[in-house]
């Protein structure tokens, strides 16, 4: 079946679309693929003030309220659909893979339901739904085609995601993702590097390598050092200035990866390392195959080789059976780890996971109180770590997101090598950068989760135009945009400007 030709067949005039994305970076990257597919098949992005002919929900199933949020959005959209004959609604992603026919039963006005394994089928399913005037539900249990082989519409000219694997071989008791995305499947190194090269040729200066457990890459072709080799290979790509990756698993984090990070100049001094809990007994109950000593040992090695590395993490509070002593151990590990940021979550049971059926579910008020203590601790640590950067000079990759107060302050926004967010001003008379250019500025003020750079003289501000800035100019010209100053409310570090729920 030729997806492109079959799906284009019935489109007489361009149909507009909008994508609403929920969840992780994998979903954001999948939404880029969906955009590319739709535009290859004749769809056009909906304008800000217009009602789209198609709304696609790319869903997440990690949180307890994911389904409620989706059905709330679908309910609100039903009125709009009733008022616009011919409008279609499609639901994909992890929740679609999990709930399948349930979505059409609860929201019969949905036209298409597709899963994580058959994104490429969406244009055909939309056509069939219109032709047959009935909902189309198609979910595969195995991957139909690797997502990165599909057309892509990148929303950032300077930064992009590159999937190196999909799926997960772990069995964490709180996580439903492996059952929805399947066992790990790895791309061949040559295919990955070819995609990275294509992004660079198109003007990108930064890529983020994606995998559910990115550092287990190579398991399919039995090369335990495949990920470190891949990192080193990115260092050979001329014009690629920044490489990041997410998310590694502590149990599989090996010294060769640390060496590759330290010895490959364009691999950034940043590491996202999910802790989940500092209690060894809770880690065991979670089936996380490492313990707190192992976790802290990895951070010690990373900081020995990369002293200025910033480390971020994920932490779950209130896992079944968590005692106050267990929680105190988490606080102790957080204190020792000195995270620059922690994504903290209150445990919520997910149907279909072992943890949902465990005894000793923690009362909501206890979980909330612990959560607040953890957040307060992490906020203090983040503030202390950020303060250490005041007085240093940082080279920033300029983004086209000026932040919520950019219009008031006149500051633009960039990312430091360690991925910290920096709002910076431009000295009087100095040239403004474009998104994708680099500026070197002094850090003058710190906050827990962002920094301020206000150069007082032109000598404190250095602009380095880049190929990515040139690419941004070309993209603006192609879309009839004007100007070279970063507008507010666009793409942040390569995240597409899709609606994120």
Annotated binding residues for [4Fe-4S] cluster: 24, 60, 94, 168, 172, 175
Residue 201 three-state SS: helix
User: What gap in Å lies between CA 367 and CA 487, rounded to an integer?
Assistant: 40
Pairing status of strand 159-163 against strand 136-138 = unpaired
User: What gap in Å lies between CA 461 and CA 396, rounded to an integer?
Assistant: 11
Which positions ≥6 away from 487 have C-beta within 8 Å? 400, 402
Binding-site positions read 24, 60, 94, 168, 172, 175
Q: Which residue matches tokens 């926004």? A: 413
Cross-strand bridge partners of residue 341: 312
User: What gap in Å lies between CA 488 and CA 483, rounded to an integer?
Assistant: 13
Strand locations in 320-472 (E): 341-346, 393-398, 412-415, 421-424, 438-442, 445-447, 450-453, 462-464
Tell me 323's DSSP state.
-
Which positions ≥6 away from 448 have C-beta within 8 Å? 379, 382, 383, 386
With vertex at residue 435, the alpha carbon angle to CA 199 and CA 50, rounded to the nearest 5 degrees, is 90
**Of 95, 90, 155, 153, nearest to 125 (Cα)?**
90
């Amino acid at each position: 079946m030729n997806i492109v030709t079959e799906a284009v067949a019935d489109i007489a005039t361009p149909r507009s679309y909008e994508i609403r994305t929920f969840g992780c970076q994998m979903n954001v990257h999948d939404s880029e693929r969906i955009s590319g597919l739709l535009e290859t098949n004749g769809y056009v992005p909906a304008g800000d003030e217009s009602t789209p002919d198609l709304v696609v929900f790319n869903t997440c199933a990690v949180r307890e309220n994911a389904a409620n949020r989706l059905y709330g959005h679908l309910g609100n959209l039903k009125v709009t659909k009733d008022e616009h004959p011919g409008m279609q609604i499609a639901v994909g992603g992890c929740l679609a893979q999990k709930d399948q026919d349930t979505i059409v039963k609860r929201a019969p006005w949905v036209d298409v339901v597709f899963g994580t394994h058959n994104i490429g089928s969406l244009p055909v399913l939309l056509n069939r739904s219109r032709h047959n005037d009935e909902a189309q539900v198609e979910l595969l249990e195995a991957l139909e085609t690797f997502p990165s082989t599909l057309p892509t519409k990148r929303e950032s000219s300077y930064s992009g995601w590159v999937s190196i694997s999909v799926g997960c071989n772990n069995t964490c008791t709180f996580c439903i993702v492996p059952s929805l995305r399947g066992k790990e499947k790895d791309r061949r190194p040559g295919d990955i590097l070819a995609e990275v090269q294509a992004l660079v040729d198109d003007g990108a200066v930064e890529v983020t390598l994606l995998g559910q457990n990115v550092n287990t890459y190579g398991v399919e072709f039995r090369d335990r050092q495949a990920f470190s080799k891949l990192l080193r290979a990115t260092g050979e790509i001329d014009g690629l200035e920044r490489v990041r990756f997410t998310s590694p698993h502590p149990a599989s984090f090996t010294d060769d990866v640390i060496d590759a990070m330290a010895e490959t100049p364009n691999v950034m001094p940043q590491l996202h390392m999910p802790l989940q809990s500092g209690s060894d007994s809770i880690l065991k109950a979670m089936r996380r195959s490492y313990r707190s000593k192992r976790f802290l040992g990895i951070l010690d090695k990373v900081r020995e080789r990369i002293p200025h590395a910033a480390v971020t993490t994920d932490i779950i509070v209130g896992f079944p059976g968590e005692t106050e002593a267990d929680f105190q151990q988490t606080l102790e590990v957080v204190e020792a780890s000195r995270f620059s940021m922690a994504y903290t979550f209150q445990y919520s049971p997910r149907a279909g996971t072992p943890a949902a059926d465990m005894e000793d579910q923690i009362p909501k008020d206890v979980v909330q109180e612990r959560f607040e203590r953890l957040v307060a601790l992490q906020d203090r640590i983040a503030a202390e770590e950020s303060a250490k950067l005041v007085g240093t000079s940082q080279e920033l990759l300029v983004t086209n997101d000026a932040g919520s107060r950019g219009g008031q302050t006149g500051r633009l926004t960039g990312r430091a090598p360690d991925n910290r967010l920096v709002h910076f001003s431009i000295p009087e008379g100095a040239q403004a950068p474009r998104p994708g250019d680099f500026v070197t500025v002094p850090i003058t003020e710190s906050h827990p989760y962002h920094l301020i750079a206000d150069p007082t003289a032109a000598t404190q501000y250095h602009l380095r135009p880049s190929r990515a800035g040139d690419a941004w100019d070309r993209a603006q010209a192609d879309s009839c945009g004007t100007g070279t100053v970063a507008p507010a409310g666009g793409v942040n570090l390569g995240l597409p400007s899709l609606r994120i729920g």
